[in-house]
Amino acid sequence: MARQALHLFDGFQHTILRCLNSNTASLSQVRQAHAHILKTGLSNEIRFNSKLLSLYANHQCFADADLVLDSVPEPNVFSFSTLIYAYSKFSHLNHALRLFSRMLSHGIFPDSYVLPSAIKACAGPSAFRAGRQVHGIASVSGLASDSFVQSALVHMYIKCNHLTDAHKLLDTMPEPDVVSWSALVSGYARQGYVSKAKGAFHEMENLGIEPNSVSWNGIIAGFNQSGRYSEAIMMFQEMHLLGFKPDGTSISSVLPAVGDLENFEMGIQIHGYVIKLGIGMDKCVISALIDMYGKCACTSELSQVFDEMGYLDLGACNALVAGLSRNGLADEALMVFRQFKGQGMDLNVVSWTSMIACCSQNGKDMEALDLFREMQIAGVKPNSVTIPCLLPACGNIAALLHGKAAHGFSLRRGMSDDVYVGSALIDMYAKCGKIQGSRYCFDGMPNRNLVCWNAIMAGYAMHGKAKEATEIFDLMQSSGQKPDFISFTCLLSAFSQSGLTEEGRYYFNSMSREHGIEARVEHYACMVTLLGRAGKLDEAYSMIKKMPFMPDACIWGALLSSCRVYNNMSLGEVAAKKLFELEPRNPGNYILLSNIYASKGKWNEADKARDKMKKMGLRKNPGYSWIEVKNKDVEEQEKEQILCGHSEKLAVAFGLLNTCPGTPLRVIKNLRICGDCHAVIKFISSFEGREIFVRDTNRFHHFKDGVCSCGDHW
């Protein structure tokens, strides 16, 4: 009996040792082994403890690992190094550093094994001071010339964006290696210093070091980073020509460039190559393929790649959602997202963010707000990409409270200095009618890029504040930021809102003369609106005729709207004729023309235009506006019939009457303000000196004392 027990015990011990020596031990096996070691008194032996440490660390059970370390009577550098390595491997950088300093305070000297791990823990801009300190410790310990330590230091300087220091260090290295040089190449490349990356690449070659695939991939990534997609593809081809076999990384580095250039032919070729190379199961390659097909608008290939995958990978799922969303398939994207969630997938911040972006870009604003809440309930923390994806949804439906909540969130989480967050906040406040809020955000930004400047100008344009928009434009240039074509679109539309014809003309001409920016169709559309609103309809028309390209529906639409404001029948007919060809299914065009006729008392022609619309099946019961009908020489009863079907927007307008009279501001989402609404709201604003803001898609009407800022006469 005793012999049997002993035999069993021996067997058990054997298992324990085997478990300790394998790296695949499950967590419960490790815990059993741990219990056994404690029971048998082996826990004082450093080799068992170290093994336990590394097993717990590899399972990321750091609390257990810490306990083991605490129980070691005389920990050596090996005990610490195991845990420090694991902490930096799993990105618990602060813990790794804390442990390193604890080791030093135990009087344990670092060796060339623990230093690289400690240095790796400093590989991030925020830990650069600590990195310098560890570098100092390495020098004091006489280990600064160790090749592993030097490689780690090079890597640390690169990750801290101190590329020059890294380069200097590499130049002094007695045994430079391909790994460190490749790291420098891709370090330069990721920062967009493509020529420096190429320089380092050649320097490496001159040192007699053969570049490997990592070096090549670094260069490709660099071109992508700086938006130089064709060059990225050229490097890929050159690599191929020189006999380097591209690996999964090369493929996933080059595919985004192929997608951004929408080069479908090349995408197909690379897909074939992937299959030939036998790397079609690499999850990054699959994600990159899905993304590429999505960018090339090949939705069937996209789903095919996903379906053939045979297993669920989060990156691929996210790429699928993004691909569907990019191609306007918002409902499908939502469906697969819900499916993934139902299947218990561990959706990450990218998954949620891309779904929110999909909703806010496809008119599902309420859904976007719901998803934001849902993601937080699911325990996923929104980041500085999530906020700029969410904010447009708040702006679209003028959900100021939600927008403010997101603003507060970004302040608390320290992401308000991000240029994307800032630009999105500026846009959100402007769309919610709070242009002062936009300006407040703008003024508080520590760094601004072109998008920020354009966002605040677009805000002022939306609010018809041309003076402020011009001030920003001047400020922008004196701060050294060059305007682009969007800056001019914002500026010109601000002038057209304010009727500043001369200023508009001046800036339109200065665009190509002083800034080297050729006028695009949207600039001409702004000019046509500008001239049209000012009543200079013939000039607007001659501008259209002088345009260096075919005028599109926006141009003719701008002219027709102006013709309606001034009831210019002959030009209105010209514009309408073009529009009926360009966009036959836009009911607004028929109504505008019909109203021009009605204003001239030509009720026959007016009815004809409306019949044409009805025949297209566009509106069942289009009524006339009260502005026209009130002057028609018919019985009151018939007037009522003519007006029938034109009540929806009026109801909204009259709804304003039911709001509390003290309320100074109302914002109605995306209401196309027709003449009747305009007249009614103007009338309401004359009571009690009320101020009313209404957003008409992308411009505001500011009503006060019976006058509207837009100057239209209704």
Partner DNA sequence: ATAGGGTTAG
Interface contacts to DNA, rule CB under 7 A? 54, 78, 81-82, 85, 88-89, 112-113, 116-117, 120, 147-148, 151-152, 155, 177-180, 182-183, 186, 190, 212-215, 217-218, 221, 224, 247-253, 255-256, 282-285, 287-288, 291, 314-316, 318-319, 322, 349-350, 353-354, 357, 383-386, 388-389, 418, 420-421
446 vs 516 by CB, closer to DNA = 446
CB 457 within 8 A of CB 490: yes
37 vs 292 by CB, closer to DNA = 292
29 vs 213 by CB, closer to DNA = 213
415 vs 494 by CB, closer to DNA = 415
For residue 433, the minimal CB distance to DNA (Å) is 22
For residue 373, the minimal CB distance to DNA (Å) is 17
194 vs 618 by CB, closer to DNA = 194
For residue 480, the minimal CB distance to DNA (Å) is 23
Residue 101 one-letter amino acid: S
Which residues, at least 6 apart from 518, have a Cβ–Cβ distance to it below 8 Å?
Answer: 511, 512
For residue 325, the minimal CB distance to DNA (Å) is 7
Question: b or e along 249-284 (b: 16 or more beta carbons within 10 Å of the residue's beta carbon)?
Answer: bbbbbbbbbbbbbebbebbbebbeebeebebbebeb
- Which whole-number Å values give the CA distances from 638 to 154, 645, 651, in the listed order? 86, 14, 21
315 vs 532 by CB, closer to DNA = 315
Helix (H) or strand (E) holding 699: strand 699-704
For residue 625, the minimal CB distance to DNA (Å) is 38
115 vs 492 by CB, closer to DNA = 115
- Which whole-number Å values give the CA distances from 127 to 84, 86, 98, 130, 157, in the listed order? 16, 18, 12, 5, 11
For residue 179, the minimal CB distance to DNA (Å) is 4
Task: For 229, list phi and psi in degrees, rounded to 5.
Answer: -70, -40
For residue 404, the minimal CB distance to DNA (Å) is 19
CB 167 within 8 A of CB 197: no
181 vs 429 by CB, closer to DNA = 181
For residue 344, the minimal CB distance to DNA (Å) is 17
179 vs 547 by CB, closer to DNA = 179
292 vs 629 by CB, closer to DNA = 292
For residue 491, the minimal CB distance to DNA (Å) is 23
For residues 162 and 326, give the distance between their C-alpha atoms in angstroms, rounded to a whole number: 37
CB 613 within 8 A of CB 591: yes
Q: How many helices (H) and strands (E) does the chain have?
A: 40, 3
The alpha carbon of 460 is separated from its chain's Cα centroid by a whole number of angstroms, namely 23
CB 677 within 8 A of CB 669: no
Q: Taking each helix axis as running N to C, give the angle between helix 521-533 and helix 537-546, from 0 to 180 degrees, rounded to the nearest 10.
A: 160
217 vs 562 by CB, closer to DNA = 217
Q: What is the DSSP annotation of 465-489?
A: -HHHHHHHHHHHHHTTPPP-HHHHH
Which residues, at least 6 apart from 714, have a Cβ–Cβ distance to it below 8 Å?
Answer: 627, 675, 676, 678, 679, 682
Closest C-alpha among 76, 77, 78, 34 to residue 56: 34
For residue 520, the minimal CB distance to DNA (Å) is 21
For residue 578, the minimal CB distance to DNA (Å) is 34
Which residues, at least 6 apart from 401, have a Cβ–Cβ distance to it below 8 Å?
Answer: none
149 vs 543 by CB, closer to DNA = 149
As to burial, measured by CB atoms within 10 angstroms (0-12 exposed, 13-18 middle, 19+ buried), residue 339 is exposed
Closest C-alpha among 535, 540, 596, 603 to residue 567: 596
For residue 481, the minimal CB distance to DNA (Å) is 19
Task: For 279, list phi and psi in degrees, rounded to 5.
Answer: -110, 25
End-to-end CA separation in angstroms for the chain: 106
